[in-house]
Amino acid sequence: MRRFSIRRRLLLLVLGSLVVVWGAMLVASYGKAREEINELADARLQQGARTLLMLDLKRLTRLVEGDAARTGDGGDRGGRDDDRDDRDGGTRPLAFQVWGDDGTLLLSSAGAPPAPRPATNGYATRVIDGRAWRSYTARDTKRQYQVTVLEPLAVREHPADHLAGRMSEVLLLALAPLALFVWLGISRGLRPLARLSEAIAARSADNLEPIRLQPVPTEVEPVVGALDRLLGRLARSLDKERAFTADAAHELRTPLAAIKVQAEVALAAKDEATRSHAIAQVIAGVDRTTHLAQQLLLLARLEHVEPAARQPVDVGRLAADGVAHHAGAAAARDIEIALEAQPGCVLHGDPATLAVLLDNLVDNAIKYGREGGHAVVGVRRETGAVVLTVADDGDGVAAADRERLRDRFFRVQGHPAPGSGLGLSIVEKIAAAHGGSVDIGAGLGGRGLGVTVRLRA
């Protein structure tokens, strides 16, 4: 049997789901942060270009000279400053170029790349010397020059990467305490299962009372209900077993006592005729007891074992074999037995137990029917079922006693025919094992007894 931990599985599922959701949120937050940073940076480029357009060329020249004095002459040091500024988030001033209307580069700030004049005004993304730049170009129509402000795109990526890294650190730090809280919560949530296990383990074998577990969580309630129903079925099964054992012992006691009496008569007999009659009664008693024991064994097997050898069974042919088997017994009582069977009445079932069912019904019809009377065995097909009927025109059974015929060992008082009172109980068990039902009513012409068995086709 493969074992697994519900607690561990729930922990992995919950934490896995959280990690997936956190990952999706991190990716979405990173994308949103980059979008916001790009918008802010573009606005900064535009604002810088408009500010520069407010200055004339002399002031722009002084601005470029002052920028060059701070950063050097734009050589290797300027390149190192660009790399450093990319890493620290772009704190340096924006680079810019000033172009004349004739396409001449009038001014270029320190750190500005050797970019050609943009073809159009507005925003543009350009690759210059292997680096990606974002630029904004605006034109002053009065002074007849054009200003282009530039910024490396790497400057914009640093804040978004830094934000994503900080968020990842926070999520990773929160994962350990969250796992602990989830573990504790799941353990507390599964506590009713532990109480249920303890309640079952503490029970004795003869305690089949319902499990009283309060309060019962909604998720555990179906399990508790199923266990209570199982315990109820076990209690009823044990009650039936006890009743069956008691009834069987009672029914066997009578024929065994009669056999003992007849044996004593045979031993005490002075003449051969009395002795022979007593021995014959002993043999008859043994036969009745043997038949009763066989019926008891069959009924006990049907209590617990459903027919396993399922195969197509032609109920009409089975009925014909049963009628032929009882033809001698019917002739002995001058009973005319007829078979009315439709063709094609086939179902999947156990032919051995179905033969026992038919044998019990025909035997009852002959045994309890009227001498010189009639009995009819009918087989017909209905929607989704095969219907078997056995009816006679004998004395029948009072309506009040018909349902009691299903009870074990019940026999109609005053009837001379021998029997165990188990025939219809066996019939009902076999029918139930085949998904069928048994109805008991009047027989031929409103007289006698008629038994109808519906078997699922």
pLDDT tens for 269-281 read 888 888 888 888 8
pLDDT value of position 79: 46
| pLDDT at 72 (0 to 100) | 59
Q: Which of 442, 453, 335 is nearest to 397 (CA)?
A: 442
Task: Decide which of 403 and 108 is more confident.
Answer: 108
Report for 81-90, 202-211, 251-260, 393-402: range of highest mean pLDDT: 202-211
For the record, the structure tokens of 69 come out as: 């004095």
| Mean pLDDT on 70-87 | 49
pLDDT of residue 192: 78
Integer CA distances (angstroms), 133 to 22, 154, 335, 417, in order:
32, 8, 113, 113
Q: Is the peptide bond before 114 cis (omega within 30 degrees of 0)?
A: no
Lowest mean pLDDT among 6-15, 81-90, 309-318, 406-415: 81-90
pLDDT at 248: 66
Strand order in the sheet with 145-152: 105-108, 95-100, 145-152, 131-140, 122-128
Structural domains of the chain, with CATH = 6-162 (3.30.450), 221-300 (1.10.287.130), 310-412+419-456 (3.30.565.10)
The pLDDT tens digits for 202-218 are: 877 778 788 777 777 77
Give SS3 for 438.
strand
Q: Work out the average pLDDT over 406-413.
A: 56
Token duo for residue 259:
């056999």
* pTM of the entire predicted model: 0.45
Residue 80 has pLDDT above 60, yes or no: no
pLDDT at 250: 59
Mean pLDDT value across residues 66-72: 70
Whole-angstrom CA distances from 72 to 59, 60, 64 are 19, 18, 11
Tell me the backbone φ, ψ of residue 286, rounded to 5 degrees: -65, -40
pLDDT bucket at 122, cuts 50 / 70 / 90: very high
DSSP 8-state code for residue 394: S
**pLDDT, tens digit (0-9, with 9 covering 90-100), for 100-115:** 888 888 888 888 888 8
Helix H or strand E segment including 388: strand 385-392
For the chain, the farthest-separated pair of C-alpha atoms sits apart, in whole angstroms, at 160
Query: Averaged over 452-457, what is the pLDDT?
Result: 86
What pLDDT does 25 receive?
86
359-397: pLDDT as tens digits: 888 888 888 888 888 999 999 998 888 999 999 888 777
pLDDT of residue 74: 44
Residue 27 has pLDDT above 80, yes or no: yes
- Angle subtended at Cα 403 by Cα 399 and Cα 404, rounded to the nearest 5 degrees: 105
Q: How far apart are CA 42 and CA 47, in angstroms?
A: 9
**pLDDT band at residue 89 under the 50/70/90 scheme:** very low
Share the mean pLDDT of the chain: 80
What stretches of 114-190 show up as alpha helix (H) in DSSP? 153-189
More confident residue, 8 or 1: 8
Q: Is the pLDDT of residue 97 over 80?
A: yes
**For range 423-452, the mean pLDDT:** 83
φ and ψ at 303, to 5 degrees? -65, -30
Question: Which among 423, 454, 238, 243 has a CA at the least distance from the CA of 349?
Answer: 454
pLDDT at 247: 61
Q: Supply the Cα-derived Rg of the chain in whole angstroms.
A: 50
The per-residue pLDDT for 378 is 92
- Between residues 419 and 154, which one has the greater pLDDT? 154
Residue 419: per-residue pLDDT:
52
Closest CA to 356 of 304, 421, 303, 428: 428
Output the six-digit token pair for 213.
Answer: 């577990």
> How many Cβ atoms from other residues are within 10 Å of residue 191's Cβ?
11
